[in-house]
């Protein structure tokens, strides 16, 4: 897997101060995507053990709330396979940090056998996330007043509550 950028102290892509990883590779190609350069799977730099170490160091301070995965597309199957060991490592090393992921796929797509993004690691990766921001960016639904997303079709899914209830639960309004 490759990545295009790492941001330290990001406040735009999830609650609190975060470290964000922009992975490379996306087949969604949303119109007016804010990161079209990340559509190429080999854009940027290789994601290595040294990259992981750097991210863990960035995540360590107490003022960092957590990690956000976006792109590109973290839920392209090849990216999921590369991200799973890293996300497991973050969970082991920093269990109090929360993890958000953005995807142009819907949560339902990720759960549907035979869909493009679903692969052998999807369920385990989802099980390690706290929040999933799902759905493609849709220019006609763009709304700059929304927190943490660009268009009104996108959802901020509280995956912990969703797992508890078995039904999709959104973050409470104050956290959106």
**For residues 96 and 46, is the Cβ–Cβ distance under 8 A?**
no
What does pLDDT average to over the chain?
95
pLDDT in tens, 118-150: 999 999 999 999 999 999 999 999 999 999 999
Cβ atoms within 10 Å of 44's Cβ, excluding its own:
20
* pLDDT of 27 strictly over 70: yes
pLDDT in tens, 64-74: 999 999 999 99
pLDDT in tens, 79-102: 999 999 999 999 999 999 999 999
Cα–Cα distances in angstroms (integers) from residue 52 to residues 6, 57, 102, in the given order: 11, 9, 19
Return the pLDDT at 35: 84
Return the pLDDT at 174: 60
* pLDDT of 173 strictly over 60: yes
Residue 61 CA to residue 28 CA, distance in Å, equals: 34
Residue range of the domain that includes 6: 2-175
Q: Residue 32: which pLDDT band, with cuts at 50, 70 and 90?
A: confident
- Residues 8, 14, 20: CA angle, nearest 5 degrees: 30
Tell me the percentage of the chain whose pLDDT exceeds 70: 98
* pLDDT of 176 strictly over 60: no
> Average pLDDT in the 12-35 region?
92
Return the pLDDT at 175: 54
Residue 47 CA to residue 126 CA, distance in Å, equals: 20
pLDDT in tens, 8-23: 999 999 999 999 999 9
- Residues 78, 138, 84: CA angle, nearest 5 degrees: 20
pLDDT in tens, 45-84: 999 999 999 999 999 999 999 999 999 999 999 999 999 9
Cβ atoms within 10 Å of 99's Cβ, excluding its own:
22
**For residues 154 and 142, is the Cβ–Cβ distance under 8 A?**
no
How large is the C-alpha radius of gyration of the chain? 15
Cα 150 from chain centre: 14
* pLDDT of 170 strictly over 70: yes
Any idea how long the chain is? 176
Is residue 3 classed as helix, strand or coil in its secondary structure?
strand
Provide the number of structural domains found in the chain: 1
């Amino acid at each position: 897997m490759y990545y295009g950028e790492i941001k330290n102290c990001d406040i735009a892509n999830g609650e609190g101060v975060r470290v964000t990883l922009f992975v490379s590779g996306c087949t969604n190609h949303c119109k007016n995507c804010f990161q079209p350069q990340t559509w190429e799977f080999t854009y940027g730099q290789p994601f290595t053990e040294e990259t992981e170490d750097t991210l863990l160091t960035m995540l360590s301070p107490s003022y960092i709330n957590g990690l956000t995965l976006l792109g590109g597309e973290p839920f392209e199957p090849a990216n999921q396979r590369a991200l799973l060991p890293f996300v497991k490592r973050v969970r082991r090393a920093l269990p109090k940090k929360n993890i958000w992921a953005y995807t142009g796929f819907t949560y339902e797509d990720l759960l549907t056998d035979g869909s493009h993004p679903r692969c052998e690691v999807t369920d385990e990766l989802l099980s390690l996330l706290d929040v999933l921001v799902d759905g493609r960016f849709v220019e006609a639904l763009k709304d700059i007043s929304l927190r943490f997303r660009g268009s009104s079709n996108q959802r901020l899914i509280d995956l912990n509550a969703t797992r508890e209830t078995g039904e999709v639960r959104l973050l409470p309004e104050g956290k959106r």
